[in-house]
Amino acid sequence: MSWLEIVLGVVSILVSLIIIGVVLLQQGRRAGINGAISGGADTFLSKNKARTVDAKLSNLTKYVAILFFILAVVANIIALRK
């Protein structure tokens, strides 16, 4: 194994762990329904704050997933050259 393969392997493992963490931090889509049924009241400010955090996490998930895909393609290209 060359040093480039080792570096790509380590980076892809780190990126995959970041994807797992970001996905677990995201709030579920049905969270608002449970709050409405149980009588939980959200203020206007808390709703907007949750939307911005969820939007940022969603965008971060997209970018990290694209990075992971690119790393996988590059690793396959390097493996096929051997």
Number of domains making up the chain: 1
pTM higher than 0.85: no
Q: What are phi and psi of 39, to 5 degrees?
A: 90, 10
pLDDT in tens, 24-78: 998 776 655 555 555 555 555 556 665 688 888 989 999 999 999 999 999 999 9
User: Does 10 score more than 80 pLDDT?
Assistant: yes
Q: What are phi and psi of 52, to 5 degrees?
A: -70, -40
User: Does 20 score more than 90 pLDDT?
Assistant: yes
Question: How far is the C-alpha of 41 from the C-alpha of 22, rounded, in Å?
Answer: 26
What tokens were used for 20?
A: 């797992």
Q: What is the pLDDT of residue 26?
A: 87
Residue 57 near residue 26 (C-beta atoms within 8 A): yes
Domain of residue 26: give its range.
Answer: 3-81
Q: What is the pLDDT of residue 55?
A: 85
**Quick one: average pLDDT of 1-28?**
91
Who's near 11: CB < 8 A, 6+ residues apart?
71
User: Does 19 score more than 70 pLDDT?
Assistant: yes
